[in-house]
Structure 1
Amino acid sequence: MLTASYHKYILNFKQASGTSRGVLKTKETWFIVLKRSGKKGIGECGLFRGLSVDDVPNYEEKLKWVCKNINLGFGILANELVAFPSIQFGLETAFKSLESENKFELFPSEFTKSKASIDINGLIWMGSESFMKQQVKDKISDGFKCIKMKIGAIDFQKEINLIKSIRQEFSAKDIELRVDANGAFKKEEALEKLKLLSDFDLHSIEQPIKQGQTEAMAKLCETTPLPIALDEELIGVFSVTKKQELLQTINPQYIILKPSLVGGFKGSDKWIKTAENNNIGWWITSALESNIGLNAIAQYTFTKQSNLPQGLGTGALFTNNFDSPLQVKNGTLQYNNNLKWKFNL
C-alpha cells in the first residue's frame, strides 16, 4: 500500500539576498514523502512565492488532494497538476526516489559516483557597490570561471561602473559574466541599456523586461547587441504548442529552465526539445530549493550534458539546509560520497 504525506519547511537565508523583486530573508518550500513496503521516497515542491504560477491560495489543498489520491499513480496525478508545476516536480522526484535503490540517487551517473562534476556560475546578489564587488572577488578566488550578477535594483550607472571595474581587472578570458535583470528594465529604455551593457563583453542578460510583453521582447531579441535569455517568460506556458509559439515568436538566444517552475523533468525535457528544434541555447538553474530539490535538479542536469555553466550553486545560501553530498569546489558542483545526508522529515 502506497501512502503519502506532505510537510512545509521554511529555509532561512544566511544573509538577506537582494533581487529587483525585493530582499529575500526566508524561502518557503514543501516536501512530499511516499512510503511503500518499508521504502521511502522524498520530493521537494519548490514553490516560489511571488514568482511561481502556482502561488495560489489553494496550494496546500492541492497537496492534500495529491496525498489522498496518491494511488492513482504519477501519470494520472501529473495530468491533474498541469497548473501546479512545483507539485509536479516534487511528485516526479518523490516517485523516482521511491523507485531507486538509494532514495537520493535519482539519475545514476558519473556525477553521482563522484567521478565527474558540473560547471556552474557563481551568483552575485544585489546590494551596495562595495558588497557586490567583494562578492565578485570572492567568487573568482573560489575558482569560478563564470559569474552571474543580479542587476536592476540599485542605480543603473552604479551597476555599469561595477561591471566596468570588473572588466578592467578581469577580461572575458578570465571570467565569463552573465547579468540577470529579473524584468527590471522598462521596455522603452531596455535597448539603450543593453547597448551600454554590451560594451563589457557579457555572455548574456536574463529577462531584461517583464514577462508577458511578447511583442516587445521579440523586437528586443531581434535588435539586441547582447544575447538575451528568457527566464520568467517560460512560467505558466504549459502546452507544447504554446511553448513552440512563444519561442518561435520571440526567438531568444537562450532559455533558462527551472524545473520547479516549468513542471519538473518532463516539463524541462519539452522546453529543451523545443529550444533545440529552433536553434536556441539553454541552461538549467535551481530556484532556491533546499539540497533535496537541488540534488534532483543537479543529477538530471548532468544527464543532459550541456557544455554551458549551470545555475546550481545555491546550496550554501541557507542556515538550515539539509546536509548532503553536494559540494561546490573550484567553480563546479560535485557529488562527494564521503559526505552523508542528514535531514528530519
Structure 2
Amino acid sequence: MLKADYQYYPLKFKRVSGTSRGVLTQKDSWFIRIWDDKNPDVKGIGECSIIPGLSSDDKPGYENKIKEICESIDDYWYYLEDGLTEWPSIYFGLETAFLDFQAKGSKVLFPSDFTNGKAQIPINGLVWMGDSGYMKEQIQQKLEDGFDCLKLKIGAIDFKEEINLLQSIRKDFGSDKIELRVDANGAFSPVDALNKLKVLSEFQIHSIEQPIKAGQWKEMADLCLASPMPIALDEELIGVHAQSLKKELLDAIKPQYIILKPSLLGGIKGSQEWIDLAEERNIPWWVTSALESNIGLNAIAQWTYTLNNSMPQGLGTGQIYSNNIVSPLFMHKGFLAYDICGKWEI
C-alpha cells in the first residue's frame, strides 16, 4: 500500500539575491516522500517550492494541499492527471517523487550519459541584481569560473549603470567570447521598452527575458515584432494551463524564444506541452530552474539532458543556498555535471 508524507524545508540564501520584484533571503520548499509500506526503506522524493509574487500557486492553502495529497496518495492518478492544474509546483513535486519512487529512490530519474558522468549540460552563469560593485564582482567570478554565457538580472538599478556594466563586459569580451543574456522580469514599461531594447541591442545581447509585465499580449507582440534583439517569454507562460490558451498565446505574441521552468508550469508534463507547441511553430526554447534545491534541480537537469538542446540552459543555481541538499551535481567551467561517485545527504 502506498504511503506519503512531507516536510517543510526553507532554503536559506547565502547572500541576499535581488530581482526587479524585490530581494530574496529565503525560499519556502516542501519535500514529498512516497513509499510502499511493504518496503518502507525505499522512498521517492520530490520538491514543491514557490517564489513569492511569481508562482501562480503562491496562495493560501498551499501546505494544506500537500497534506491532502499525502493523505490521499492512493488517488495519485487523479492528482497527476487534472487534480493539480492550479497547483503547478505541487504537481512537479508529486510527479518527480513518483519518478524517484519508480527508480527505487536512486535519484536517477532519467538514466543517460549525463547521469553516467559521460556528458555535461552547458549552462549560463547567473548574475543577480545589486549595486554595480556587487554585479561586477559576480561577473568577474563567473568569468574566472569558465562561463562563456552570462545572464544578468536587470531592471532594479539605474538603467545607465546597467548599460555601463554591459559596456565594461563588451570592452574586454566580444560576442564571440561571451554570450550575454538579460532578464528584466517585466521591469520595463510598454512606453519606453522599445527604446531600452534599442540601447541594449548595441551590446550584441543574445536575448532579453520578459521586458514588460506578463498579460499584455498586444504590447508584447508589438515588441517582438519591432525589437532589434530577440525576446524570450518567461513569466508570460505562468498560469496558462489550457492547451488551447497556450496555442493562442504563442500565435498572438510570436516570441523569438520561450523559457521553461517546470515547477512554475505544471512540472515536466506541462513544460513538455509548451515545448511541443513551440517546436510546431519553430520557436526555440531552453529550460531554467526556479531556484529549487538540488532535489528539484536534479530532476530538471536530468530531464533537460534527454531533450538534446545544445543551448546553454539556466541550471546554475545549485550553489546559492547555505543549507542546500548535498548531491552529486556540480558545476565545472560553465557546465553542470553529475559525479557518479557523489553521494546524496538527505
Other structure's SS at 1:5 match: strand
Matched-pair contact (CA < 8 Å) for 2:265–2:271: yes
After superposition, what is the alpha-carbon deviation per residue over 1:246-297, rounded to whole angstroms, capped at 9, x for unaligned? Answer: 0010000000000000011100110000100111110000000000000000
Residue 2 (structure 2) aligns with: 2
Residue 73 (structure 2) aligns with: 70
Cα distance in 1 between the residues matched to 2:167 and 2:64: 49
5 Å-filtered alignment, 1:224-263, equals 224-263=227-266
Residue 34 (structure 1) aligns with: 34
After superposition, what is the alpha-carbon deviation per residue over 1:202-244, rounded to whole angstroms, capped at 9, x for unaligned? Answer: 1000000000111100100010001000000000000111100
* Alpha-carbon shift at residue 102 of structure 1 (Å): 4.5
* Alpha-carbon shift at residue 77 of structure 1 (Å): 4.2
After superposition, what is the alpha-carbon deviation per residue over 1:76-105, rounded to whole angstroms, capped at 9, x for unaligned? Answer: 544110010001100000110101144300
Cα distance in 1 between the residues matched to 2:308 and 2:296: 19
Supply the RMSD in Å over aligned alpha carbons.
0.9
Residue 188 (structure 2) aligns with: 185
What letter corresponds to residue 33 of structure 2 in structure 1? V
Cα distance in 1 between the residues matched to 2:31 and 2:112: 25
* Alpha-carbon shift at residue 166 of structure 1 (Å): 0.6
After superposition, what is the alpha-carbon deviation per residue over 1:181-205, rounded to whole angstroms, capped at 9, x for unaligned? Answer: 0000011000000000000001000
Cα distance in 2 between the residues matched to 1:78 and 1:70: 13
5 Å-filtered alignment, 1:133-172, equals 133-172=136-175
* Alpha-carbon shift at residue 313 of structure 1 (Å): 0.5
Other structure's SS at 2:15 match: strand
Other structure's SS at 2:10 match: strand
Runs of at least 5 residues in structure 1 that lack an aligned partner in the other structure: none
After superposition, what is the alpha-carbon deviation per residue over 1:108-166, rounded to whole angstroms, capped at 9, x for unaligned? Answer: 00000000000000000111112111211111111111000000000001101110111
Other structure's SS at 2:340 match: coil
Residue 92 (structure 1) aligns with: 95
Identity over aligned pairs, percent? 57
Matched-pair contact (CA < 8 Å) for 1:74–1:92: no
Other structure's SS at 1:304 match: coil
Structure 1 residues 76 and 314: CA distance shift in structure 2, 3 A: closer
Residue 223 (structure 2) aligns with: 220
What letter corresponds to residue 7 of structure 2 in structure 1? H
Deviates more, 1:179-188 or 1:93-102: 93-102
Cα distance in 2 between the residues matched to 1:330 and 1:159: 25
Cα distance in 2 between the residues matched to 1:73 and 1:165: 53
Structure 1 residues 207 and 147: CA distance shift in structure 2, 3 A: same
After superposition, what is the alpha-carbon deviation per residue over 1:3-26, rounded to whole angstroms, capped at 9, x for unaligned? Answer: 111111111111101111111111
* Alpha-carbon shift at residue 74 of structure 1 (Å): 3.3
Other structure's SS at 1:14 match: strand
Structure 1 moving runs of 4+ over 2 Å: 73-78
5 Å-filtered alignment, 1:227-306, equals 227-306=230-309
After superposition, what is the alpha-carbon deviation per residue over 1:290-338, rounded to whole angstroms, capped at 9, x for unaligned? Answer: 0000000000000001011000010100000010000000100000112
Deviates more, 1:116-125 or 1:27-36: 27-36
Matched-pair contact (CA < 8 Å) for 1:146–1:177: yes
Deviates more, 1:45-54 or 1:206-215: 45-54
Cα distance in 2 between the residues matched to 1:263 and 1:217: 23
Residue 81 (structure 1) aligns with: 84
Runs of at least 5 residues in structure 2 that lack an aligned partner in the other structure: none
Other structure's SS at 2:306 match: helix
Cα distance in 1 between the residues matched to 2:249 and 2:188: 20
Residue 325 (structure 1) aligns with: 328
Structure 1 residues 204 and 211: CA distance shift in structure 2, 3 A: same
* Alpha-carbon shift at residue 58 of structure 1 (Å): 1.2
> What TM-score results when the alignment is normalised by the length of structure 1?
0.98
Deviates more, 1:66-75 or 1:139-148: 66-75
Residue 204 (structure 1) aligns with: 207
Cα distance in 2 between the residues matched to 1:66 and 1:50: 24
Residue 12 (structure 1) aligns with: 12
Other structure's SS at 1:45 match: strand
Matched-pair contact (CA < 8 Å) for 2:298–2:329: yes
